[in-house]
Amino acid sequence: MIALGRFLSVEGIDGAGKSTQLAWIAQWLAQQGIAFVQTREPGGTPMGEKLRELLLTEPMHLETETLLMFAGRREHLAQVILPALERGDWVLCDRFSDASYAYQGGGRGLPREKFIALEEWVQGSGLNKIQPDLTFIFDVPLAVSQERMANGRTLDRFEREAADFHARVRAAYLERAASEPERIRVIDANRSLEQIQTELAEILSTLL
């Protein structure tokens, strides 16, 4: 497969401001005249959206949760992400497998070998591994995310987890970013929207 489009993903702990920045990135891409597909995980396909509904509401075993995340991802890659990249479109994905590493691994303690095995199964390995070309992790101190989350919205099964869960998710995201500095850019999201977006535009411009 020759992938022509660019694959972007956005990540962060709940309440970091990811949705706000995602909308801004979509607008930026449109302004550049780039054809892109905006999608999300869990979700992104009709089946994936059904899995999302279950994942965000239904208590389940950690391994079930992880397997469903990766099952939805397999379908998402086959039906949406790879066809878009092959057409030359860009893909803007609201969360991808770094979220499984952070939430199921960091947050819930799934052993890393299991994550690596699933990632290899679903995304391949070596030069053939399908990974985003660029991932933004929006990072804020826990107190900031909790305050932003408390801002009047209904919380899902992950958002309702205790503060120490979110602290472990954040630590896992930062650890993952440190291990893949070329791909993953940590954005200090505890700044004004304007400051954050200036930095995003600079980084995105390097992909053009």
Residue 174 and residue 11 in contact, taking contact as beta carbons nearer than 8 Å: no
Stretch that binds ligand ADP, among 16-24, 59-67, 109-117, 164-172 (CB under 6 A): 16-24
Establish if 103 lies at the interface with ligand TYD (CB under 6 A). Answer: yes
Establish if 14 lies at the interface with ligand ADP (CB under 6 A). Answer: yes
Q: Which does 49 bind (CB under 5 to 8 A by kind): ligand TYD, ligand ADP, none?
A: none
Establish if 42 lies at the interface with ligand ADP (CB under 6 A). Answer: no
Q: Which does 16 bind (CB under 5 to 8 A by kind): ligand TYD, ligand ADP, none?
A: ligand ADP
Q: Which does 103 bind (CB under 5 to 8 A by kind): ligand TYD, ligand ADP, none?
A: ligand TYD
CB of 189 to ligand ADP, least distance (A): 6
- How large is the greatest C-alpha to C-alpha distance in the chain, in angstroms? 45
What is the DSSP-derived secondary structure letter of residue 207? T
Q: Sketch the per residue contact string, 112 through 151, with ligand ADP: x for CB under 6 A, - otherwise.
A: ------------------------------------x--x
Distance CA(82)–CA(95), nearest Å, equals: 16
Residue 91 and residue 8 in contact, taking contact as beta carbons nearer than 8 Å: yes
Going by C-beta distance under 8 Å and a sequence separation of 6 or more, which residues neighbour residue 208? 32
Residue closer to ligand ADP by CB (options 130, 169) is: 169
Establish if 72 lies at the interface with ligand ADP (CB under 6 A). Answer: no
Residue nearest to ligand ADP (CB): 17
7-12 vs 90-94, strand pairing mode: parallel
Report whether the peptide linkage leading into residue 59 is cis, meaning its omega lies within 30 degrees of zero: no
Distance CA(78)–CA(83), nearest Å, equals: 7
Establish if 75 lies at the interface with ligand TYD (CB under 6 A). Answer: no
Count CB neighbours of 113 within 10 A.
8
Give the H or E element holding residue 95. Answer: none
* Closest to 101 measured CA to CA, from 91, 90, 111: 111
Binding site for ligand ADP (CB under 6 A): 12, 14-20, 148, 151, 189, 193, 196
Binding site for ligand TYD (CB under 6 A): 14, 19, 41-42, 69, 94-95, 99-100, 103-104, 156, 158-159
